[in-house]
Amino acid sequence: MAAKLYISVSKNDIEMKEFILRFGRMVVIASSCFLLGITNASAQKVLRKSENMRPVWLVSKTPETTNETFHYQLVEAENESLEKARHDCLLALSRYIEQAWKISGEAETDIRMEQKNGAYKESSVYNFHYKIENEEINVTTTKYDEYWEYVYYPGGGRYHCYVLFGVADVPAPRFDRLSFTRKYGVRGMARSLIVPGWGQMYKGSTAKGLCILGGEVLLAGGIIASESLRSSYVKKMHEQPKHQQTYNTKADNWENVRNVCIGAAAALYVYNLIDAIVMNGRKRAVVHKPVQFAMYPSAGECNGISFALNF
């Protein structure tokens, strides 16, 4: 009888060791994936950049236009200085316009930037004038936003500049009014409320989102495994009353492990929600409604003209 009891206790000890080993492997795999991501990121050798994260218009898609008089166009260029890289972006945009407007032959190009009150605006307007023999073509563009990175190469560092332009498709375009924000409000929290880490990934913090999601998965696995072992010891405690105290102690230990996992999972979930709504994400564009001005006559006790300004 004593030999049977000895074998039974040894099996449970083996189960405990196997669980700890499996849980440890999961932690090692998750940590390795995270470190691999950091190593790959550092391999890009980006020393400086204008934003902590690339804007949405660069990594996913440009904003949707509200009318058909223009379209968004992304151009990029690289040079040893930031000013030269910006200038090369204008040259790249000029080449794109030549292809889009099917300008063939040798053309004289004149790039002009509009200014108001003696100062250039952040969203500057560039006019591209092309002269081919006796024909002149004028294309208006507006610069909405830019992002740059200073990349180190074996031969030295260079600036890689990305610029978002609006390019006219008609002689008198109606460019959208854009503003840029890093706030996402309830959009991120709503996603993290459903799936922990989803809001962070939606806002551009992919590594943080994966860590939160992986942490919740590991803690959920710990809760399930520890509860399974606790139930197993409770069952053996009833089956073998003589060793009730031993099994009761082990059941209490695994209950404590389960409770710690539950508390950690709850704390991580709350942090996930707070982070999703408070922390900034990728810079995204907000399209504003166009301003409309209307003037019409009015009749009544006093005839006159009414003005309406709609935003």
The pLDDT value given to residue 27: 58
- Flag whether 8 is in a domain: yes
- Flag whether 310 is in a domain: no
CB neighbours (10 Å) of residue 289?
A: 10
Long-range contacts, 20-25 (Cβ 8 Å, 24+): 22/225, 23/218, 23/221, 23/222, 23/225
Low-confidence ranges of the chain (pLDDT < 50): 1-10, 38-43, 118-122, 308-309, 311
End-of-domain residue from the set 145, 176, 207 = 176
Same domain, 171 and 50: yes
Same domain, 127 and 30: no
Same domain, 261 and 197: yes
Same domain, 50 and 20: no
Q: Which domain holds residue 276?
A: 2-42+187-285
The pLDDT value given to residue 99: 87
Same domain, 165 and 208: no
The pLDDT value given to residue 115: 55
- Flag whether 311 is in a domain: no
Same domain, 167 and 222: no
The pLDDT value given to residue 171: 87
The pLDDT value given to residue 122: 47
The pLDDT value given to residue 4: 40
- Flag whether 13 is in a domain: yes
Query: How far apart are the C-alpha atoms of 173 and 163, rounded to whole Å?
Result: 19
* Structural domain count of the chain: 2
End-of-domain residue from the set 176, 210, 228 = 176
The pLDDT value given to residue 10: 45
- Flag whether 301 is in a domain: no
End-of-domain residue from the set 176, 209, 238 = 176
pLDDT per residue as tens digits for the range 206-222? 999 999 999 999 999 99
Same domain, 27 and 52: no
Same domain, 164 and 240: no
Same domain, 76 and 163: yes
Long-range contacts, 43-48 (Cβ 8 Å, 24+): 44/151, 45/151, 45/152, 45/153, 46/149, 46/150, 46/151, 46/152, 47/150, 47/151, 47/152, 47/157, 48/149, 48/150
Closest CA to 142 of 110, 174, 184, 102: 174
Query: How far apart are the C-alpha atoms of 289 and 113, rounded to whole Å?
Result: 25
